[in-house]
Structure 1
Amino acid sequence: MTPAETELFNAMDELGRVEFAGAGREIGAEFLGTQLLRGVGSRPRKLTLHDVVVVGELDVEAGEVGFPVEFERCTFEHAPNFEQATVAGLYFADCRLPGLRASQVRLHDGLALRDCVINGCLRLTGAHVAGQLDMVDCVIDGPADGAFKADGLRVELDVYCSGRFRVTGLTRMIGAHIGGQFICEGATFRNPEGEVALQLSTLTVDEHVFWRDGFTAEGDVILSGATIAGRLICDGARFLSPGRIALLAGGMTVGQEAEFSAGCVVDGEMNMVGSRFGGWLKLTGGEFSNPGGVAINLTRSLTSLNLVLREGTVVRGELRLAGARVDGLLGAQGAHLENERGVAMNAFGLKVSSDLSLSVRGDERFRAQGRVVLSDAHIGGDLDCSGGRFDSDDGEALIARGVDVVRDIKLCKVFVAHGKVDLAGASVEGKIDFTGAELEHGEDAVRCDRVKVGHSVIFDKVRASGRVRMCDARIGSELTFHKALLRGRKALKLRGTQVRGALRFKFAERPAGRIDLRQAQAGSFGDSENDWSAGSTLDGFVYGALRENSMELNKRLRWLRDNHRYVPQVYLQLAATYASAGQHDEATDVLMAKEDARRRSLSGFFGRLHRSVWWLLSPTVGYGYRPLRILWCLGALTLVGGFVFHLLRQDADNFAKARPHLDPHWFDPWLYTVDLLLPIMSLEHSQLWVPLHGARWASLAFTVLGWVLAVCLVTGIGRLFKRDER
C-alpha cells in the first residue's frame, strides 16, 4: 500500500465517521473498492474522501457498500462502476469523472453529483434511489446518443437538476419514476449532434415539475405519455428546436395546472395532442414560434379549468385546438397569433364550458394574422371577439360555421375583420352583436346563412365594404342596421330570413349596392327613404306592421314605381299592413298603385290595348277601389254638357220639338245632359227634343261617354267584390 492508502486503511479501522484528506494524493481504485466492500463488523458509519485522485477503475459491481460514501473535490481516472450494487448512500461534490456506471444500483439513501463535471456517460438505467437525486450545478458532456441514461430510474424523493446543471448529449429517462418533485430551474439540455435533447416518455412524477428560470432545451423534448400528479411550471423556459417538434407531450397527464408563460419561449412545435390538465393551462406571456407550421397543438386535449393565453402571448404559426375540451373558459384577450398565409387558430369542434374570449385586455387587442376557425365548436358562455382584429390574406378571417353558443356572440367595439366573417349555420341562444364593427371583403363581408338566434342580431354602426349576407336565418327578436354603412357592390341579402320581432334599417347613408329581401319575414319593419338603393328586391317579403317614422307612403310608392319591377305581392303586402293598422285609405292608395304598376308592365299590342282600357278605370272608379269617383266624373261631364247644350240651344235649328205643343223654354241643358249620361235609366227629357246639326254630334258624344261611365262603374263594382290577385 502507498502511504496514502495506509493512512486511509488505518482511519477506516477506527470505524465511526471517517474523513480522509488526500491533499491531491493518489489512491488505487482496486484498494478503494476493497475498502468499500468491507464486511459488516469492520464498516465505518460514513466515509468522506477529500481531494483524492482515484487511479484505475473503481469497480464495486453487484457488491454491497454498507455505509454512505462521499467524494469531495476528487478526480477519477476511469468511470466508477456501481452497477447492480447496493449502497447506503453515494455522494459526489465538485468531482471530476470520465463517467459513472450505476445502472440498477440500489441506494438506501440519496445520490448526489453536486457541482461535478462528468466527461462521459452518466448511467442510471434501472437505478433505485430511496432518497433524493441531487445534481445541482452538475455538468455532463457525453456522447450524442446518450450522455445521461436513466431509463426506468426510480427516485423516491426529489430530483434536482438546477443551477448551472448542463447536459451535452442525449438525456434519456424513459419510464422513470420520481416520487417527489422534478426541479430543473436554470438547467440546460443540449444535443448539438442529435435531434432529441431530452427523452422523458412515460415519465411519472408524483408531485410537481419545475422547469423555469432559464431552463433551456436545445433539441426535441419528449414527454409523450408522461404523468405529473402536481403542477408543470415552465415559466421562463426555452425549448429550442426550429422547424421540428420542440416539445412532444402527446397523451401527457398533468394533475394540476401547467404553465408555459412569463417569458417561456418555444421555437418549434409544442405538441400536446390528447394531453390532460387537471387545472389551468397558462400560456400567457409565452412566445411560441413555428412559422408556416403548427406552433401549439392541443388537439383533443382536456383542460379541467381555464386555458389562458392573454396579452403578451405571441404565437407564430398555427394554434391548433381541434376537438379540444376546456371545462372552464378560454381566454386569449390581447394575444397575437401570426400565420399570414394559413390558419392562425384552428379550433374545429372545440368545446368550452364557459366563455371563449378573443378580445381586448388593457391596451392590447387580440390580433390574428391568418384564418381563425371555430366551426362546429360548442361554447357554454359568450364568444367574445369585441375589439379583436382579424386579418387574412386568403379572404376568410373568422370561420365559425355551425358554432353553438349558449349566450352571445360579440363582434363589436371596433371589431375589425379584413376578410370574410362566416357564421353560417351557427346556433346562438342570446344575440349576435356587430355594433361598430369594421368589415372588409370583396364579396361577402359577413355570411350568416341559416343562423338560429334566440334574441337579436345587431349591425348598428357597422362599416362593411362587402355584402352582409343572412339567408334563411331564424332570429327570435330583432334585426337592426341603425346608422350602418354598407358600401359593397351587393349591400345586403336577407333572402328567406325570418325575424319574429322588428327588422329596422335607418342606414347612415344610402347603401352602395342593392338590398335583397326576397321571401324574408319580419314582425315589423322600419325604414327611411335613404335606405333603398336601385335594384333592390322585395319579392315575397312579408311583415306584420310598419314602425313609426318609416318612409312616407307617397315616397314608398314612388320608389316602387321607379326602382322595382312589378310584383303583385309587394303591393298586396303593403296594403294588408296598412289595412291591419286601420289605415284603409292608405291601403286603397297602395292597391291603386299596384294596378298602375301592372298596367305599365304590360307590353305588346294587346298590352297597349289593355293599358288603354285600364287607363279609363283609374280616373273613373280607381280600378274599382274607389267607385264613387265616377260621381265626380258624372258631375264634371254634366257641367260641361250643360254649358255646351246651353250654347247650342241659342240656335233654334239645333233642336226640334218631338211634340208639337212643347214650349221651347222647357228645354233644360243640364237635365238633358244627365239624361244622356244615364244610359240605363231615362229621365225622358232627352226624348222631348230631337238634336239636329251640331247638337246631334254633341248628344252622340255624351251618350257614348255615358255608356263608358256605365261600363267603368260595372267593372269597378265587380272588382270591389272580387279582388284581382294576379
Structure 2
Amino acid sequence: MEPRDTIPAMEINDLTPAERRVWEAFPRGDGVDFRATPEDSSADGADWGPERTLRAEVLRAILLGSGPVVQGRIPGLKIKGARIVGKLDLRYAVIDHPIRLRDCWFERKPLVYGAQLRALVLGYSTLPGLTASTLRVEVVLRLSHCRIAGPVRLQGAKIAGGLFLQGAVIGPTVGEEADEPPLQLNHVEVHTDIIANDLTVHGQLRLNGANVGGQVQLDRAQLLAPGGIALHAETLTVGTDLRAHRMKARGMVNLTGSRIPGQANLTRADLANPGGTALRASSCAIGELWLRRCEQIRGDVNLRRSTVDLLHVDPQAWPERIAIDGLTYRTLAPHLPAEQRLPALEREESGYLTYAYEQLAAAYRTAGDEAAARTVQLAKLRRHRHTLPRAARAWGLLQDVTVGYGFRPLRAAGWLTALLLTGSLAYGIDPPRALKAGEAPDFNAVFYTIDLMVPIVGFGQEGAFAPGGWHQWLSYLLIVTGWILATTTAAGVSRSLQRQ
C-alpha cells in the first residue's frame, strides 16, 4: 500500500452524488450500477451526464485507502455503466481489493504500469488504451468485449489466473501510436489460459516470448495486418494447445521457435499474406499441427526444421510455394494415396529435396502402407533424374521404363514375357539353320529365345543354331535387351537391399 501522505485528501463533501454512491459502496464490497438498462453500451459513454460521471482521482483515492472501513466486510470496487474522466493512475500501486469497472467509458487510458492487483475486470468497457506493462495480477485480468482504440501494453505482465479477451475489438492505433502493435502480450506469463475467442485486432497481436501454463484460444479471431505480421508469436510456450479454429489472419502468422506440446489447431483457418509468408512455423516443437479443412493458403508456408508428431493437412491447403527442409513428422493425416501427397513436394522453394521424399515415405511406412511408400521412393528417383547429367538421365530413364527403378519388378517380367513370345513366334515359324548338321539338338523356339535373352542361363540352343536375315537382327535385339533387363533388375534389387 502506498504511504498515506501520498494519497490526496478526499472528504465526502467534495464528492458528487455519483461518486458518493461509490464511496459508500466500496467498503462493503457492494456494486454500483449506473446503467439505465442492461443493454446500455459503453460506446455511448461520452454523452453520459454528471449522474453517471466519476472522476478518476476519486477512484484512485478510494483504492489507495482514503475511503471508510466497514468491519467484517471485504472491500471491492464494483461499478457498471460509469463515465470515468481524468487519468486513473495506479502505477506501482499495491491494491488488495478487486477492481471491476464493467460497461464503463474512459476518457483517458488507465495507467497500471508495475502495479500489483488482486483482480482487474474491465469487460464491455470502452477505452482509448491501456498501459499495464509488468503488471502483476493475482486472480484474473478481463478485457472481454472491450473496445480499445489505442495500444494495450501488457508486456512482461504476470497473471496468476487467466487473461480473457474474448470478443474484444482493439485498434487500429493512430497518431503517434500508429506504429505500435495494438495488442502487446510479449513476454507475458499467464499461469492458466489466454481466452481470446472472437477477438478482433486491427494490427499486430504480439505474443513472442509469452509463457502460458494452459492454452491459448483464438477461435474465430480476426487478426488484420495486411502486408505485415498479424500474429507475432516467436518462441511462444504453452502448456497444452494453441486453438485457432476459423481464425482469419491477414498478414503473417509467425510461430517460429514455439513449443506447443498439444495441438496447434488451425482447422478451417483463413490465412492470407499474398506475396509474402502466410504461415511461418519453423524450428517449432508441436505435438499436432492441424490445417484441416482449410482453403488454399494465400502466401508461402515455412515449416523448416520443425518437429511434429502428427501433421494433419489436406492437400488443397498447401500454397504454391512451401519450405519444408528439415520438417520431421511421424504421422500424416488424413491417410490419402501417395499420388495426392506428392504434388506438394514439387512446390518446395529449394527445388528437389531428398529429405522431403524420405520423410513422406517414412510416414507411409509408419501407417503400414508399403505400396504408397514405394510410390514415393519412385517419385523421388524420377525427380532426382532431372538434376543429373544427360548420360545419367538416359540410364535413369532406362531403369525407370524397364523396372521402375526396382520398385516395379513385375514390369521386367512383362518385358521378358513380351520378348519371349515375339522370339518364340518368329523362330518357330522360320527356325534358324543348324551350325553343324547332325550334331545340333532338336530346335526349340522357346528355349532358343531364352538362351538369347538370359545371359546366365544356357540350354545349348544359342550355340547350335545361326539365324540369318532379319532373324539375326532380332537375335541381337534379344541379347541386348536381355543384358539391359538383367542390369537394371540387379540395380533395382541392390537399391531395395540398401533401403532395408
With the length of structure 1 as denominator, give the TM-score of the two structures. 0.58
- Note the residue ranges of structure 2 that are not aligned, 5 or more in a row: 21-25, 34-49, 67-73
Change (3 A) 1:710 1:315: same
| Inter-partner Cα distance in structure 2 for 1:389 and 1:280 | 27
User: Which of residues 235, 248, 263 in structure 1 aligns to 2:52?
Assistant: 263
Per-residue CA deviations over 1:230-258 (Å, capped at 9, x if unaligned) read 7999x99xxxxxxxxxxxxxxxxxxxxxx
Match of 1:280 in 2: 76
- Distance apart, 1:632 and its partner CA: 2.6
2:100 corresponds to 1:308: yes
Counterparts of 1:412-561 in structure 2, within 5 Å, are: 412=197, 414-442=198-226, 443-489=228-274, 490-500=277-287, 502-547=288-333, 549-561=334-346
Match of 2:154 in 1: 374
Match of 1:299 in 2: 91
Per-residue CA deviations over 1:667-721 (Å, capped at 9, x if unaligned) read 3333222211111332221111112232222211221111111211221222122
Report the 3-state secondary structure (helix = DSSP H, G, I; strand = E; otherwise coil) of the residue aligned with 2:257.
coil
Report the 3-state secondary structure (helix = DSSP H, G, I; strand = E; otherwise coil) of the residue aligned with 2:256.
coil
User: Which of residues 103, 113, 116 in structure 2 aligns to 1:325?
Assistant: 116
CA RMSD of aligned residues (A): 3.4
| Inter-partner Cα distance in structure 2 for 1:475 and 1:262 | 50
Match of 1:213 in 2: 17
| Inter-partner Cα distance in structure 2 for 1:585 and 1:479 | 30
Report the 3-state secondary structure (helix = DSSP H, G, I; strand = E; otherwise coil) of the residue aligned with 2:446.
helix
- Note the residue ranges of structure 1 that are not aligned, 5 or more in a row: 1-173, 188-210, 217-228, 237-260, 339-343, 360-364
Counterparts of 1:132-171 in structure 2, within 5 Å, are: none
Change (3 A) 1:683 1:177: closer
User: Which fold has the larger relative contact order, with Cα–Cα distance below 8 Å and residues 6 or more apart in sequence?
Assistant: 2
Match of 1:164 in 2: none
- Distance apart, 1:403 and its partner CA: 0.9
Change (3 A) 1:562 1:346: closer
- Contact persistence 1:351–1:379 (CA under 8 A): yes
Per-residue CA deviations over 1:497-545 (Å, capped at 9, x if unaligned) read 1112x22112442111122211122211212132111002222221111
| Inter-partner Cα distance in structure 2 for 1:640 and 1:276 | 106
Match of 2:124 in 1: 334
Considering fraction of residues, name the structure with more strand.
1
| Inter-partner Cα distance in structure 2 for 1:550 and 1:465 | 30
Report the 3-state secondary structure (helix = DSSP H, G, I; strand = E; otherwise coil) of the residue aligned with 1:308.
strand
Match of 2:419 in 1: 637
Report the 3-state secondary structure (helix = DSSP H, G, I; strand = E; otherwise coil) of the residue aligned with 1:465.
strand
| Inter-partner Cα distance in structure 2 for 1:479 and 1:175 | 49
Percent sequence identity is 25
Report the 3-state secondary structure (helix = DSSP H, G, I; strand = E; otherwise coil) of the residue aligned with 2:88.
strand
Report the 3-state secondary structure (helix = DSSP H, G, I; strand = E; otherwise coil) of the residue aligned with 2:235.
coil
Per-residue CA deviations over 1:77-118 (Å, capped at 9, x if unaligned) read xxxxxxxxxxxxxxxxxxxxxxxxxxxxxxxxxxxxxxxxxx
* Residue range with higher mean Cα deviation, 480-489 or 276-285: 276-285
2:133 corresponds to 1:351: no
Report the 3-state secondary structure (helix = DSSP H, G, I; strand = E; otherwise coil) of the residue aligned with 1:515.
strand
2:445 corresponds to 1:617: no
Change (3 A) 1:176 1:711: closer
| Inter-partner Cα distance in structure 2 for 1:682 and 1:275 | 106
- Contact persistence 1:462–1:483 (CA under 8 A): yes
| Inter-partner Cα distance in structure 2 for 1:634 and 1:507 | 47
Per-residue CA deviations over 1:311-367 (Å, capped at 9, x if unaligned) read 1x222333221111112x2111011111xxxxx1121111111111110xxxxx301
| Inter-partner Cα distance in structure 1 for 2:298 and 2:139 | 40
Change (3 A) 1:614 1:333: same
- Distance apart, 1:270 and its partner CA: 8.7
Match of 2:434 in 1: 657
Report the 3-state secondary structure (helix = DSSP H, G, I; strand = E; otherwise coil) of the residue aligned with 1:488.
strand
Match of 1:684 in 2: 460
| Inter-partner Cα distance in structure 1 for 2:353 and 2:409 | 24
- Contact persistence 2:337–2:372 (CA under 8 A): no
Report the 3-state secondary structure (helix = DSSP H, G, I; strand = E; otherwise coil) of the residue aligned with 1:296.
coil
Per-residue CA deviations over 1:456-496 (Å, capped at 9, x if unaligned) read 11111111222221111111211111111112223211111
Counterparts of 1:26-65 in structure 2, within 5 Å, are: none
Match of 1:126 in 2: none
Report the 3-state secondary structure (helix = DSSP H, G, I; strand = E; otherwise coil) of the residue aligned with 2:203.
strand
2:164 corresponds to 1:384: yes
| Inter-partner Cα distance in structure 2 for 1:720 and 1:267 | 78
Question: When the two structures are aligned, how many residues end up with a matched partner?
Answer: 460
With the length of structure 2 as denominator, give the TM-score of the two structures. 0.83
Per-residue CA deviations over 1:194-245 (Å, capped at 9, x if unaligned) read xxxxxxxxxxxxxxxxx341679xxxxxxxxxxxx97999x99xxxxxxxxx
| Inter-partner Cα distance in structure 2 for 1:486 and 1:718 | 46
2:209 maps to amino acid: G
- Distance apart, 1:281 and its partner CA: 4.3
1:303 maps to amino acid: I
- Contact persistence 1:279–1:303 (CA under 8 A): no
- Distance apart, 1:426 and its partner CA: 0.9
